[in-house]
Structure formats: structure tokens, C-alpha cells
Amino acid sequence: MNSFNNKIQEILTKNHKELSDEELSLCANKLRMDVVTMVYEAASGHTGGALGLADIFATLYLKILNLDPQKPEKSDRFLLSNGHVCAILYSALAMTGVIPSSELNTFRKLGTRLQGHPSTHYLPQLYNSSGSLGQGLSQACGAALGMKLQKHTGQLFIGISDGECQEGMTWEAAMSIAHYKLDNLTAFVDYNHIQIDGKIEEVMNLGILADKFTSFGWLTRNANGHSFPEIRGAFQWGKQKEGKPKIILFENTLGKNVSFMENNPKWHGTPPDKEQYEKAMNELLKLA
């Protein structure tokens, strides 16, 4: 484990924009290890979705986002709607030095800044508080419109879940974003087809999600959420201003790289016990 951590630290000393896909893959699995450890030690939290998003977050935070607190008018912004997967967000913030890595040990514990659902009250480095599903796209609409009005040149990215696309508020926001031609906004969907009650198609079938967003006036793109070239290409496409908002549908695997968690709805919001934790960490280390 120590040799793997040393390898990650060596990778992170490089120019992040020049990291290879192999290096990104190692960083993504480091994020996964952090997630499993955080949820295990808290004995509470959402494991599966966070693991499935690791490749996307590694690419987003290490290769895509231009974050410059000294020049907010040029800085990109990221909002998270499905706040229950916040373990992956906190891990990415630690990997990029926004918060100390040691703080991950406080996840979901009394008095922590790392709440079970992200809060700007506790962590002002965030751009939104989240947890109540379906609200994130509305928050992004207001934020992107504000950036336009203030002539900010950065791009706003918003991560949403497929399950919350079953909620009406999502589509009210989608209509507003298209109406105001917010081409400084790129949304992406964690399209793993699983929500807390089971398979999306069985709980409330979304049909062809890309067609729905297209009909609302969005530009859409499908991508494999575990292919670094596809993830990178999709985000770079999202940064191009074309007069319309954009959405990326990332086909993801819940619980990715942990065999007994993959595609199992049980792991939407279940922490591992000691035996499961050790098995998961051993599987992830084999990929190091």
C-alpha cells in the first residue's frame, strides 16, 4: 500500500494536464480506495455510485477543470447534484490539494466539514449544497446564468444522476437552461441504471434519455464512463461554445472494480463490513 501511495504522489508532482491514461487509471483507483476506506470507517455512506464515478472525477479534476481562485471570472466551476456520492468528490478535492488528505478520515463524523451530503456552510470551497435529488440542475441554471451576466468566461459542469431524471424539477430546469441558451453549462449523467430501489428501468423507465434532452433543446453525447479517451473527449466537447447547453450520458458501472459490488443495487448506500472492506481493497490494489 505504501509503495502504491508513493507512486500516486510521484504522478501528482507532474503537470496534471499531461498525465497519461495509465496514470489517470492509477489515480482513479486511488480515489476508489479512499472512497471504500471513508465509507467503511464511517460505517455509513454510499459506496457503489462513488466507485462508478472515479474515472470521470479523476479526468475532470486532473485534466479538465481550470480552477483559479485568484481569477474567479476565468475559473471553471463544478456542481454536484446527487450529493450522496460525495465521497468521490471529497477524495478528488484531497487529491488536488483543495482539502488535506488527512481530513478524509473525518467523513460523516460528528463536527466534520465532510458531511454525508455536501454543504457550503461547512465547506465553502464547494459551489453548491446538495442532497435533495432533482435540485442540482436548477442550481446550475442560476449559477450559469449569473456567470453569463457577469461575463465570466469559465465553464460550469454539473453532475447529476439518472434516477433524479425521474423528477419534474429536473425537466423544468432543462427547459430554462435551453431557453436562456446557457452554452457555458455542461451537465453529465451518472448513467449506471441503478437507484436505491433497484434498476431504473423497473422503478421508472426513462426511455431514451438522450432524445428527451435533445427535444428540450440540448446537445447530447453518449460516452463510456470508464474509457479515459471517451471521458476526455466528451468533456472537451462540452467546453466548446455552440449556443446550446450540452449533456454527456456516461454509461457507468455501479461499484466499478470491486467485483462483488458491481451492478448490485445493494451497494447504492451500504457500507462494507471488515471482511468486505479488506476484499475490496485487495481487489483495488491488484490493479495498482
Distance of CA 75 to the CA centre of its chain: 18
Q: Give the pLDDT of residue 69.
A: 77
pLDDT tens digits for range 232-269:
999 999 999 999 999 999 999 999 999 999 999 999 99
Residue 275 makes CB contacts below 8 A (sequence gap 6+) with: none
Predicted confidence band of residue 68 (pLDDT cuts 50, 70, 90): confident
Helix 21-42 vs helix 274-286: crossing angle, to nearest 10? 170
* Residue 180: pLDDT over 90: yes
Sorted by where each starts, the structural domains of the chain and their CATH numbers stand as: 2-286 (3.40.50.970)
Predicted confidence band of residue 67 (pLDDT cuts 50, 70, 90): confident
Q: Give the pLDDT of residue 198.
A: 93
pLDDT tens digits for range 89-114:
999 999 999 999 999 999 999 999 99
Give me the chain's average pLDDT, please. 96
Helix 168-179 vs helix 136-149: crossing angle, to nearest 10? 20
- Distance between CA 275 and CA 272 in Å, rounded? 8
* Residue 127: pLDDT over 90: yes
End-to-end CA distance of the chain, in Å?
9
pLDDT tens digits for range 212-234:
999 999 999 999 999 999 999 99
The residue with cell 475490496 is 280
Q: Give the pLDDT of residue 58.
A: 98
CA-based nearest residue to 159, from 81, 102, 227, 61: 81
Strands, DSSP E only, in the chain?
77-80, 156-161, 185-191, 194-195, 198-199, 219-224, 246-251
3-state secondary structure of 14: coil
Q: Give the pLDDT of residue 19.
A: 96
CA-based nearest residue to 23, from 7, 35, 36: 7
pLDDT tens digits for range 13-46:
999 999 999 999 999 999 999 999 999 999 999 9
Q: How many CA atoms lie within 13 A of 114 on its CB side?
A: 28
CB burial string 73-84: b at 16+ within 10 A, e below:
eebbbbbbbbbb
Q: Give the pLDDT of residue 132.
A: 86
- Distance between CA 96 and CA 63 in Å, rounded? 11
- Distance between CA 201 and CA 204 in Å, rounded? 6
* Residue 160: pLDDT over 80: yes
